[in-house]
Amino acid sequence: MNTIRGSALFGKRVLSSIILLAVCATPLWATEIAVIVHKDNPLEDISFDNLRKICRAEKQFWDGGEKIYLLLRESGNQEKTIMLKTVYQMEEMGLKKFWLTKLFREEIPSFPNALGSNEAVKRFVAQVPNAIGFIDGQYVDDTVKVLTIDGKSFQSPGYPLTDQSQ
């Protein structure tokens, strides 16, 4: 009888340890970056490849012919870090060199605008029909349209602009 109780107690402890490890290994929250455009933009979904082309100024016009107005976040925030890691696949200094090279080669007329807050990016995109920006998903509201990426919303599993290292 003691052996059975001991085995059951041991099994409960092992199971509790496994659950505790799983909970500790899973982030409590993840920062998810929403891709936002003006509400009148006809686009609903964008491929990750096209998003990367827009962000790298390889695609500078919407399908309707309007110039894309790319907005980035200033350095030193989680949104910029996620974009650097997932879309640009480079560090901050590498991105600066990247834009300087494009400017020097006359591939772009100027650097993309960088704004200091999620709210500033959202307000700008809400007012400029050809703008695209990136904000923390918790700041999304009905003043802008949120694009899905390859059919996945920023709250879906497998969404590419997520940092779960929090």
* Residue 149: band (very low, low, confident or very high) from pLDDT cuts 50, 70, 90: very high
CATH of the domain at 62: 3.40.190.10
pTM of this prediction?
Answer: 0.79
pLDDT, tens digit (0-9, with 9 covering 90-100), for 20-63: 444 443 344 567 899 999 999 999 999 999 999 999 999 999 99
Residue 145 lies in a domain: yes
- In terms of residue numbers, what domain contains 119? 31-163
Q: Tell me, rounded to whole angstroms, the distance of Cα 37 from its chain centroid.
A: 14
Residue 11 lies in a domain: no
Mean pLDDT in residue range 105-125: 94
Give CA–CA dist 112/95, Å, rounded.
11
Residue 79 lies in a domain: yes
Residue 5 lies in a domain: no
Query: Can you read off the two tokens belonging to residue 29?
Result: 């929250």
Residue 116 lies in a domain: yes
Q: Pick the residue with more confidence: 17 or 117?
A: 117
163 close to 85: Cβ distance less than 8 angstroms: yes
**Residue 22 confidence (pLDDT):** 43
87 close to 55: Cβ distance less than 8 angstroms: yes
Residue 16 has pLDDT above 80, yes or no: no
Give CA–CA dist 71/44, Å, rounded.
18
Residue 25 lies in a domain: no
Structural domain tally of the chain?
1
Mean pLDDT in residue range 136-163: 93
Residue 76 lies in a domain: yes
37 close to 140: Cβ distance less than 8 angstroms: no
Residue 52 lies in a domain: yes
